[in-house]
Amino acid sequence: MPFCQAELRAAKPNSIRYPKEINTLGDHIRTHRLDLNLLQKQVAKQIGVDEATITNWERNATVPAVRFIPAIIQFLGYDPLPPPISFSERLAAARRVLGLSQRKMAEKLGVDPATIHDWEAGRHRPIKRSLEMIGRVFQSR
């Protein structure tokens, strides 16, 4: 109609390259990379891995090793892992944020790697002295 002017506005839909759902670390990486309009090789350089590694993470063919988690969190600007609730979940999450394997964490604490595994599995809790050591390791980061 000549006397009626209407203008429809809507957000541009995401490219088909975006994941339909963001469920994995690879999905987070791909979405953020596309939002920033970066190439996989640019992200690989920021994180310190090969371009093929980024491809595999984004395709969910492999998952990032724990040593890359700090760089991934820095790239994303947030921690995409679900928030921990229990002590064992908090311990495992803090260890991952530091990029430490259970073995490396055990070395820092002077305990057996099986002890870290048992703490994170919720099989038992650390004694007071161990809790103090854990606190010092996380404060020193």
CA 59-66-90 angle, to 5 degrees, is 115
CATH 1.10.260.40: does it fit domain 87-139?
yes
pTM assigned to the model: 0.79
CATH number, domain 25-76: 1.10.260.40
Cite the residue boundaries of each domain of the chain with CATH code 1.10.260.40: 25-76, 87-139
Q: Is the pLDDT of residue 117 over 60?
A: yes
Q: Which of 70, 68, 72, 66 shows the shortest CA–CA distance to 28?
A: 72
Question: Percentage of residues in the chain with pLDDT exceeding 90?
Answer: 71
Report which of 43, 99, 46 is spatially closest to residue 68, judged by C-alpha positions: 99
CA distance 22 to 35: 14
Name which of 71, 91, 69 is nearest 81 in CA terms. 69
Q: Read off the pLDDT of residues 9-34 as tens digits, 9 standing for 90 and up.
A: 756 556 677 778 888 999 999 999 99
